[in-house]
Structure 1
Amino acid sequence: MTNDIYGPFPGSAAFLAALTERQRARYEELGTNLEVVERRIADACAAAGRPRSEVSMVVVTKTYPAEDTALLAALGVTEVAENRDQDAAPKAETCVNLPLTWHFVGQLQTNKARSVVRYADLVHSVDRPRLAESLGAAVLKAERVPLGCLVQVALDKEAGEGEHRAGVAPADVPALADLIADTPGLQLAGVMTVAPLQGPLAGDPARAFGRLAEIASAVRATHPAATMVSAGMSGDLEQAVAAGATHVRVGTAVLGVRSPLG
């Protein structure tokens, strides 16, 4: 692929002309999938009595190449997510001229903070004070704009389950939210969760996301600007929208079933 497709004007005539036959087929496939997901989100918003504009689609591009990211940008996608810095950093560098907002959604080690702040606009997976402090220090050193951070909530832990899962127990959310808000270089953006695998809310995304909505409301009572509620993926985005999610993280439904990571 030529570098032309990574330019600042994805979707232009020059961009489309640069595509090979294989890339054009993938472009059309992704476009079809995006239309299906867009319809699902629009229908879910209508069913919940919410304006479509209240919900953002974040396409999770993990395990897929940078060229797919470029094709998504050409199709109008503006928000993408990655979960491993070793994959995200080079991909973001390749796509640096594309008009994209980058979300980091995976479990993050503190020693990766300096790398992540070079490209991420938002980190959804802040789950401990030390990580918040490391991200804040890295932002200040990089002299960049404040980094949006979400508290990752592990709903399993409310029932004493999921000890080893990423995220903080609901009872610990207020303290971590306060710390993020008070950390120079960081901006508290909201809360994030994934449907729990254990506990009474396991297998019931509607109730799980409803519980997250309660937690999000409590955070906003203290931090009114923390309006993001990141919840829902390809299989449960409707329940997330019904519960008030502002961002749904969709991967498989757009890009296809992923190969196992090596």
Structure 2
Amino acid sequence: MSIQHSILQLTLGQRIDSIRNTIQELKVDNEVTLVAVSKTQPASLIAEAFQEGVTHFGENYLQEALTKQNTLKHLPIIWHFIGPIQSNKTALIAQQFDWVDSVDRQKIAQRLSEARLLSGKTPLSVCIQVNISHELSKSGVDEKELPQLAHCVSLCRGLQLRGLMAIPDPRLSDTELRMQFRKMKDWFDQLRQQYSSMDTLSMGMTQDYLMAISEGATQVRVGTGIFGVREK
């Protein structure tokens, strides 16, 4: 039975419980944060997932997210922006989100920091997105530029460098995918020695989050596994 088909047999609450139980069965030392990827999902389903104990939600599209945030402003949701960031959207992202998981260049980091400082809020938690598979079509900083970007983010007063994020090429074999997760963990461990605020390694989605956790992920982003197959 495929993942998609098995998911359809469960309620949303059962899906969330199944994910949590599976993570607990791995018996890893580090705590794992579940981020529900809620892009294209209605506010009603986000509220239902929140009632089931999920507090972190990830959105890719700014205008869609702002509408949901307004609808759900009575709930203490922790909002993550996880999509590509356009320069002209940095002010709203910095003001409206708790986390940005997809910082991939200095210009964006600096603009987010400036806008966050103007908002008067506490520093914005950020992860640097690494293009670990070196895909031309995918966002993320190249590995050779990662130390320089990490230094830049660490100097931004409106930001707090929390960790790294990656979305490996889904066409990889399991062996290749595991090697890329391990490479991310190596980078995370290396940079964490320099930046004490780093506590988050965000990698792994519905199809591969268990492997990612086994290789050191502390945060996974699950969409289909919670909400089912998205409508196009």
**Could you say whether these structures have the same fold, taking a TM-score greater than 0.5 normalized by the shorter chain as the test?**
yes
Gaps of 5+ in 2: 1-7
The whole-number CA distance in structure 1 between the counterparts of 2:187 and 2:219 is 16
1:114-153 deviation per Cα after TM superposition (whole angstroms, max 9, x unaligned): 1112221110000011100110111012111100111100
Give the corresponding residue for 1:252: 224
Task: Give the alignment of 1:186-205 within 5 angstroms.
Answer: 186-197=159-170, 204-205=176-177
Gaps of 5+ in 1: 1-25
Give the corresponding residue for 1:142: 119
- 1:197 CA drift (Å): 4.9
TM-score by length of 2: 0.91
1:53-105 deviation per Cα after TM superposition (whole angstroms, max 9, x unaligned): x1111111110011111111111111111111111111112111212111111
Name the amino acid aligned to 1:121.
D
Query: Structure 1 residues 70 and 104 mapped into 2: Cα distance closer, same or farther (>3 Å)?
Result: same
Per the alignment, in what secondary structure is the counterpart of residue 156 of structure 1?
A: coil
Contact kept in structure 2, 1:60 and 1:81, CA below 8 Å:
yes
Query: Structure 1 residues 172 and 202 mapped into 2: Cα distance closer, same or farther (>3 Å)?
Result: farther
Specify which structure has the bigger relative contact order, considering alpha-carbon pairs within 8 angstroms and separated by 6 or more residues: 2
The whole-number CA distance in structure 2 between the counterparts of 1:212 and 1:201 is 17
- 1:164 CA drift (Å): 3.2
Give the corresponding residue for 2:185: 213
Query: Structure 1 residues 165 and 78 mapped into 2: Cα distance closer, same or farther (>3 Å)?
Result: same
Query: Structure 1 residues 73 and 201 mapped into 2: Cα distance closer, same or farther (>3 Å)?
Result: same
Query: Structure 1 residues 156 and 96 mapped into 2: Cα distance closer, same or farther (>3 Å)?
Result: same
Per the alignment, in what secondary structure is the counterpart of residue 155 of structure 1?
A: coil
Give the corresponding residue for 1:82: 59
Task: Give the alignment of 1:33-182 within 5 angstroms.
Answer: 33-44=15-26, 46=27, 49-50=28-29, 54-157=31-134, 162-182=135-155
Contact kept in structure 2, 1:117 and 1:139, CA below 8 Å:
yes
The whole-number CA distance in structure 2 between the counterparts of 1:76 and 1:134 is 33
Name the amino acid aligned to 1:41.
I
Name the amino acid aligned to 1:227.
D
Give the corresponding residue for 1:222: 194
Q: Percent identity?
A: 33
Contact kept in structure 1, 2:133 and 2:180, CA below 8 Å:
no
The higher radius of gyration belongs to 1
Name the amino acid aligned to 2:74.
N
Which stretch has the larger CA shift, 246-255 or 137-146? 137-146
Superposition RMSD on alpha carbons, in Å?
1.9
Contact kept in structure 1, 2:15 and 2:225, CA below 8 Å:
yes
1:143-169 deviation per Cα after TM superposition (whole angstroms, max 9, x unaligned): 111001111000122xxxx12310011
Q: How many residues align?
A: 224
Give the corresponding residue for 1:4: none
Name the amino acid aligned to 2:191.
V
Contact kept in structure 1, 2:160 and 2:197, CA below 8 Å:
no
Contact kept in structure 2, 1:73 and 1:99, CA below 8 Å:
no
Name the amino acid aligned to 2:78.
T
- 1:201 CA drift (Å): 7.6
